Structure 1
Amino acid sequence: MSTITLAIPATTQPLGAIRIDHGQAQLRTEILAEETAVALVYNGISHAVMMASPLDLEDFALGFSLTEGIIQKPGELLDIELITAENGMTVEIQITEQRFAQLKQVRRNLAGRTGCGLCGQDSLESAIRPVAQVVNPVSLAYQDVLQAMEHLCALQPLNNATGAAHAAGWWRDGQILVREDVGRHNALDKVIGAAARTVARDGVLVISSRASYEIVHKAAAAGFGIVAAISAPTALAVRLAREAGVTLVGFVRGERMTIYSHDGRIVR
């Protein structure tokens, strides 16, 4: 792949720091990723506060709404307004009255934190939720999975500048859609939101992290049948993938990968 030059995202902050290397101190400027409290407000009622990167928040709002089951299809989200405040950002989301009535019935108190998609759940039952079944799962050549991860690793301007972000991408027909965030679950919600109005669910979701329970759960909820991670899955994630009909691939690095579920869908 040819070298790609990526611009430094605006959602970064240069700060002075001292680097010590082999006992020698050097004053330098470090580029740090911004992390912001993002309040998701549905029809005027606050539902969740997530720590996230303040970019692509419209995609995040749609993806989160879908993967959390707040709405069932993109058209049930009617409007999004971003409001900047002194201590964070508010995403005002308007959903249909039917979905809002259901949300009020099952509303739970989420308080998300970076790297933890389940923080704030108030019971084991609400944390370990039933998983959606993937309908009409697809097959993919293993070379496409390797290419997808290669492209994902090359298209991470926020992480390249700061070393502090995760990325998620949707690879399909040789093209990839990528979103970044300081939280891996947020990055996945963003790419799911960006792809939500596309009917197709073929190709592969790729992530620059381990494959946790929540990653598989969100992919299944959005109808994606193949998930590939640069690192390992958890045992719970593998069990969930097998239950949901998701092909789960880990350790996608260079020319190798490990397939943990429904291996027949990766064509060799």
Structure 2
Amino acid sequence: MVSRRNMLKTGLTAVFGACAVQTASASEVQQKSQNNFDVVILGAGTGGLVTAIEAADLGLKPVVLEKMECSAGNSLYASGGIAAWGTSQQKEEGRNETKESFREDMMKVSEYRADPALVGAYVNHIPEDFEWLKKQGVKFSKIGKKPWPLNYRMHNVDGQGLTGGARLVRYLLEACEKRNIPIIYNTKAIELLTNDAGRVIGVRAQGDLHKTDYFAKDGVVIATGGFSANRELLCRYMGGPLSRLVLRGSPYVTGAHRTGRSAACSYRPVPLRPDR
């Protein structure tokens, strides 16, 4: 603001200066109005796109921010298989699966170390979640028998020349387009915005040319994947040997949303002798 003392000292110059300040403030208010959403979602992968669609169907106004020029996460490399029980497709193909056997096998494959609450949430909701995907237009191949535990529960997205995961992302992008959900590419979230009470109210993002603030009335959803392409974080959280594994997914899933001091990896691979 221009103080009264400065106004008196500089005369008309100060008057024009005040007008300039007012204009900038009005522009800032307009920008905030244009960038006001109910939900800001970070990441245009499967998780982020599903969240955006569900938010829109609930009557909310979502926006998706994606750091790459396209949806370039691990979904593109995935087969698109969804393990489920009690689906309409299983019933149509004459395959019976019970909730109890499905849950037991999920616990067994983890040697009973999986979180029972998380497993329970998956088991209880996967039938309806599968039907939700079908309503979005997702098409699945005929269920085939899998090596373990030798039953018919893996529902694979029909890739039609692509990986199932890549085709799934295309289905979800089409669903977002039908709902006019904005997806802003080449825009990387760099900071969460908070109010004086510490509540998250939005995101500051870096675009090609400048930073932009996106405000979220009902919260920010971080759906940016893990850190499978970041060897430093793999070493820190998973151990040295795992950080040396060959990358099997997207090179862009780097855990950029994580913060913290860099940690040097103490693991050094032992060179193999020629006869090994």
TM-score range with shorter-chain normalisation?
Answer: under 0.3
**Bigger helix share:** 2
TM-score normalised per structure 1: 0.21
Which structure ranks higher in relative contact order (CA pairs < 8 Å, sequence separation ≥ 6)?
2
Name the TM-score, length of structure 2 as normaliser. Answer: 0.21
* Higher strand residue share: 1
Larger radius of gyration: 2
